[in-house]
Structure 1
Amino acid sequence: MSRLLHVDDEDLLTLFQQGDACAYKAIYDKYWALLYRHARKMLQNDDEAKDVVQEVFTMFWAKAKDLAIKTPLAAFLYTSTRNRILDQVKHSKVKARYMASLKVEMAIEAAAPDSLVRERDLARRIEAEIQSLPPKMRAVFELSRKEHKTYKEISDYLNISDKTVKKQVNNALHILRTKLTSFLMFF
């Protein structure tokens, strides 16, 4: 190792690419702290900075023989570190967007069973209130709202005037609104 202390970067890179592990160690020792400070400054996080530098050196080790470095070694390592940081930041943003959408989805799914229960309760309550209407009014209302018959069809079917049908439906709606208002406020 001491034999490589005064070897320049270009020769260290050549030795490393020829399989000299001591050359890799010399490069690592020379640049790790510099790259870490650079990554730490960009990321504002010690652990993430260490991880990025480690990933750069891991890539550097794994692809040693395939790398065709045309820039100075320091520039290559700084650029690799910066690119890895940018990838990480981009990934973090994607992850944050995914997590936000997942939280929204989970909130919707969590609310769904509760809202189904409330809807069923409301439907039962409405049906109970309809059943408590006076018989003639209930018959007119159910023909209008449940069977979707027109006022004319209801008047012909029940042998009453159109005005009576309209009045009965309006009265039924008024009674239902009054009785269900407090229940609906709860929802």
Structure 2
Amino acid sequence: MSRLLCIDDEEVLHAFQQGDRNAYELIYDKYWAILYRHARKMLQNDEEAKDVVQEVFVMFWLKAQDTSIHVPLAAFLYTATRNKILDQIKHSKVKAKYMTSLKNEMENQVQPPDTLVRQRDLAYQIELEIKALPAKMREIFELSRKEYRTHKEISEYLNISDKTVKKQISNALHILKAKLGPLLIFFLLLSTTW
């Protein structure tokens, strides 16, 4: 490491800007740990700090010919890292604010008066179609979708193979999709009300 500290930044930057890949590697080796420690201190997160430093070095690589890159390299890279961290923090705050706003909007959203009636009707239609399935298929399907059992649990419970369970569930979904349509099958798979 002490050898790296003795490298003249101006010379190695010039070599890098002339396309010398080894010069880039020298810069990377010399400054990565320093920038990582700085990013880690600001972000309090190892992975985020690594990501930020990686992004800084990618930017540095892509801007090799850019005249805005100057010595001292430590100051340039430190500033680039700080700016990247500030952008990330700002983005996180905007994202958090948006998610809070969206959550509040969804919680305060008034549903049309007939929503509950339509949901009940839909659940009733689905239940009728499930009851119309062949007996063994219906039993397997209900164990999967109503009791939330895994294929393995169902196969052990009914003393049949996993492959049979998977095939029966697939067949049941195929039949229900054909009868109920894609939107209703979507409701069927996600709903916990039936």
Shorter-normalised TM range: 0.5 to 0.7
**Residue 143 (structure 2) aligns with:** none
Counting only pairs closer than 5 Å after superposition, residues 21-40 of structure 1 correspond to structure 2 as: 21-40=21-40
**Preserved contact between residue 56 and residue 80 of structure 2 (Cα < 8 Å):** yes
Normalising by structure 1, what TM-score? 0.56
Could you tell me which runs of 5 or more consecutive residues in structure 2 were left unpaired when the two chains were aligned.
118-194
Preserved CA contact (<8 Å) 2:39 2:81: yes
Alpha-carbon offset, residue 104 of structure 1: 1.4
Please list every run of at least 4 consecutive aligned residues from structure 1 whose deviation after the TM superposition is greater than 6 angstroms. Answer: none
Map residues 41-120 of structure 1 onto 2, 5 A cutoff. 41-109=41-109, 112-113=111-112, 116-117=113-114
- Counterpart contact for 1:4–1:23, Cα < 8 Å: no
CA distance in 2, matches of 1:67, 1:42: 28
Aligned residue type for 1:46? D
Cα distance change of structure 1 residues 34 and 4 upon mapping to structure 2, 3 Å threshold: closer
- The structure with the largest alpha-carbon Rg is 1
Structure 2 residue matching 1:19: 3-state secondary structure = coil
One-letter identity of the residue aligned with 2:63 = K
1:100: Cα distance to partner? 0.6
Matched to 1:112, the amino acid is Q
Q: Which stretches in structure 1 are left out of the alignment for 5+ residues?
A: 121-187
Shift of 1:99: 0.6
Shift in alpha-carbon separation, 1:81–1:43, aligned structure 2, 3 A: same
CA distance in 2 between counterparts of 1:27 and 1:49 reads: 18
Partner of 1:20: 20
Q: CA deviation at 1:108?
A: 2.9
Identity within the alignment, %: 70
Amino acid at match of 1:103: K
CA distance in 2, matches of 1:12, 1:39: 24
Q: Is the 8 A contact 2:56 2:84 kept in 1?
A: yes
**33-42 or 70-79, larger mean C-alpha shift:** 70-79
Shift in Å at residue 30 of structure 1? 0.6
AA in 1 matched with 2:49: A
Q: CA deviation at 1:86?
A: 0.3
Evaluate the alpha carbon distance shift between residue 32 and residue 4 of structure 1 in structure 2; reply closer, same or farther with a 3 A threshold: closer
Greater helix share, 1 or 2? 1
Kindly provide the CA deviation profile for residues 96-146 of structure 1, in whole angstroms up to 9, marking residues without a partner as x: 00111111122234x524xx259x9xxxxxxxxxxxxxxxxxxxxxxxxxx
CA distance in structure 2 between the partners assigned to 1:86 and 1:57 by the alignment: 17
- Pair 1:5–1:22, CA change in 2 (3 A): farther
Q: Give, as a single letter, the amino acid of the residue that structure 2 aligns with 1:94.
A: V
- Spell out, residue by residue over 1:44-101, the C-alpha distance to the aligned partner (whole angstroms, 9 max, x if none): 0011100000000000000110132344100000000000000000111100001111
Contact preservation (8 Å) 1:5, 1:26: no
Which secondary structure does the structure 2 equivalent of 1:28 belong to? Answer: helix
> Letter of the aligned partner of 2:111 in structure 1?
A
- One-letter amino acid of the structure 1 residue matched with residue 46 of structure 2: D
Structure 2 CA distance for partners of 1:86 and 1:5, relative to 1, 3 Å: closer
CA RMSD of superposed structures (Å): 2.5
